[in-house]
């Protein structure tokens, strides 16, 4: 029995050896997932960008800025920005938070109404949570230091009060020196007790005058996602994920299925030209993906009530470019696959990294530099910021010229390579 089983095992290894693509997938995929999940699966953003709008330019403002500099997780990208520049940077996503220091800002409890104002970009959910946490920690340390200084100043005032020195002028009286010394000591003790009582009364009165520790609490305003809802963060990204999964996977499997059944050869000898054949294979999946796109769009805006505040026309145009890039990727996978199993494996090999590394779930800022560069060769990485900014910030796709251009480049590149390989496979 074991002899027969051993022969069967050898046969399976021989088949795997001959099917080098499947063997490569069996080795590469576990390593890819291990690296991706080990380094990229991280919700904590290590460094947050902060912009300062300093309208006070006084000692208190300098102290607050210095305290934030001590926090290694906060990077101050601009110290002397104007309010308009800060708001624009927050909208463009070049900073995670803007700190406005008003003109009358100081560390005195008498001026508690003029405290720091913080604006946070809520469209990037995990970055917003990280920067709010770090700012609260830095400003909490500043508040603690200020309270300690106020207490030390009060204690210095308490220590200034000393018992008066008692001088007895007996003026030649017949009182013995020993009795005079006892009288002097008794008077000093009474005065010291009275002084201690007054000090305790003054200490209690001044302690009551200490401000509420929250008098320095900043005013935090989260913009573009006021309640930091995760659904506002996920739905715009899901638009791209649906497109790339449907088009890449279905296109790859659909074309390879024709190869396995032998019907592709029948289409080759038909009157159809190669361009007509390619369009005939791609357009059905394009229509299905477009339909899925509008379904997800409708469900996201109507059921989950995610606000769409941007330019619809430019958004549809960039979605079309992304769709072409995904179709080209799926067609390319089909040209290098002989079976549906191989097509599925290669499609997964291209889709899993985009799901993990594109910023759909895990923020790019939390990934190491050695891993992050992989994200920049994936179309989904460029579609996500456009989608989220158009949805939540009222922006246009034209406000993102680099991602827009990269999507156009990927669409042209993938379709061109896939079409050339597909024509060669038909020859």
Band of residue 316 on the pLDDT scale cut at 50, 70, 90: very high
What is the rounded distance in angstroms from the CA atom of residue 310 to the CA atom of residue 392?
Answer: 7
Q: What is the DSSP letter of 74?
A: E
Kindly report the length of the chain.
Answer: 427
In this prediction the pTM is 0.76
Q: Which of 188-197, 328-337, 381-390 has the highest mean pLDDT?
A: 381-390
More confident residue, 174 or 386: 386
For the domain with range 48-150+217-223, which CATH number is right: 3.40.1710.10, 3.30.530.20, 3.30.930.10, 3.20.20.80?
3.40.1710.10
**Residue ranges of domains in the chain:** 48-150+217-223, 169-209, 230-426
For 242, 299, 380, 388, the CA distances from 307, given in Å and listed in that order, are 19, 12, 21, 10
Across residues 218-234, what is the average pLDDT? 87
Sign of CA dihedral 285, 29, 376, 372: positive
**pLDDT digits over 234-261, tens only?**
889 888 888 888 888 888 887 777 777 7
Structure-token match 């290894």, residue found: 13
At 13 the pLDDT is: 64
At 386 the pLDDT is: 94
Average pLDDT of the chain to the nearest whole number: 77
At 188 the pLDDT is: 59
Q: Which of 73-82, 133-142, 169-178, 375-384 has the highest mean pLDDT?
A: 375-384
Q: Which long-range contacts (CB under 8 A, 24 or more apart) does 417-425 make?
A: 417/328, 417/332, 418/328, 418/329, 418/331, 418/332, 418/334, 418/335, 419/278, 419/328, 419/331, 421/332, 421/335, 421/336, 422/255, 422/274, 422/278, 422/331, 422/334, 422/335, 423/274, 423/278, 425/335
Q: Which residues pair with 355 in a beta bridge?
A: none
Strand arrangement of the beta sheet that strand 74-78 belongs to? 74-78, 48-54, 97-101, 117-121, 219-223
**Residue 43 contacts residue 363 (beta carbons within 8 Å):** yes
* Token pair for 383: 């579609």
Q: Which residues pair with 118 in a beta bridge?
A: 99, 220
**pLDDT digits over 91-124, tens only?**
988 899 999 988 888 766 555 556 788 999 998 8
CB-count exposure of residue 47 (10 Å: 0-12, 13-18, 19+): middle
**pLDDT digits over 25-52, tens only?**
566 666 666 666 666 666 677 788 999 9
Structure-token match 């996503």, residue found: 93
For 199, 255, 256, 336, 391, the CA distances from 260, given in Å and listed in that order, are 96, 9, 6, 13, 43
* Token pair for 412: 């042209």
Q: Which of 153-167, 327-341, 405-419 has the highest mean pLDDT?
A: 405-419
What is the rounded distance in angstroms from the CA atom of residue 101 to the CA atom of residue 117?
Answer: 7
Band of residue 266 on the pLDDT scale cut at 50, 70, 90: low
Least confident of 78-87, 292-301, 363-372, 398-407: 363-372
């Amino acid at each position: 029995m074991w002899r027969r089983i051993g022969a069967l095992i050898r046969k399976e290894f021989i088949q795997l050896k001959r099917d080098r693509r499947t063997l490569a997938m069996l080795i590469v995929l576990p390593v890819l997932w291990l690296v991706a999940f080990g380094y990229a699966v991280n919700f904590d953003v290590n460094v947050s960008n902060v912009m300062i709008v300093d309208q006070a330019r006084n000692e208190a403002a300098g102290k607050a800025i210095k305290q934030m500099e001590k926090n290694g997780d906060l990077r101050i990208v601009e110290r002397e920005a104007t309010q308009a520049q800060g708001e624009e940077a927050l909208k463009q996503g070049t900073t995670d938070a803007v700190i406005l220091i008003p003109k009358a800002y100081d560390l005195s409890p008498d001026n508690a109404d003029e405290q720091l104002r913080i604006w946070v970009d809520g469209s990037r959910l995990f970055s917003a949570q990280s920067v709010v946490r770090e700012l609260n920690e830095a400003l909490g340390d500043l508040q603690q230091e200020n309270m300690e200084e106020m207490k030390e100043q009060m204690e210095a005032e308490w220590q200034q009060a000393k018992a008066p020195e008692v001088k007895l002028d007996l003026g030649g009286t017949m009182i013995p020196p020993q009795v005079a010394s006892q009288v002097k000591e008794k008077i000093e003790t009474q005065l010291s007790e009275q002084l201690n009582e007054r000090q305790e009364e003054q200490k209690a009165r001044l302690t009551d005058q200490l401000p509420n520790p929250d008098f320095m609490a900043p005013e935090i305003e989260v913009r573009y996602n006021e309640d930091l809802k995760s659904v506002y963060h996920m739905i715009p990204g899901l638009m791209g994920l649906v497109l790339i999964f449907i088009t890449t996977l279905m296109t790859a499997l659909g074309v390879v299925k024709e190869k396995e059944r032998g019907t592709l050869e029948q289409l080759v000898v038909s009157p159809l030209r190669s361009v007509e054949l390619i369009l005939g294979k791609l357009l059905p999946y394009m229509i299905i993906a477009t339909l899925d796109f509008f379904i997800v769009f409708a469900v996201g805006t109507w059921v989950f009530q995610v606000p769409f505040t941007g330019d619809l026309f430019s958004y549809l145009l960039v979605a079309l470019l992304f769709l072409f890039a995904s179709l080209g990727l799926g067609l390319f996978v089909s040209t290098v696959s002989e079976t549906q199993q191989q097509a599925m494996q290669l499609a997964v090999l291209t889709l899993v990294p985009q799901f993990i590394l594109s910023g759909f779930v895990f923020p790019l800022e939390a990934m190491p530099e050695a891993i992050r560069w992989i994200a920049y060769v994936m179309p989904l990485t460029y579609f996500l910021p456009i989608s989220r900014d158009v949805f939540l910030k009222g922006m246009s796709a034209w406000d993102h010229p680099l991602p827009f251009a990269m999507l156009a480049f990927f669409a042209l590149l993938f379709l061109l390579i896939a079409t050339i390989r597909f024509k060669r496979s038909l020859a």
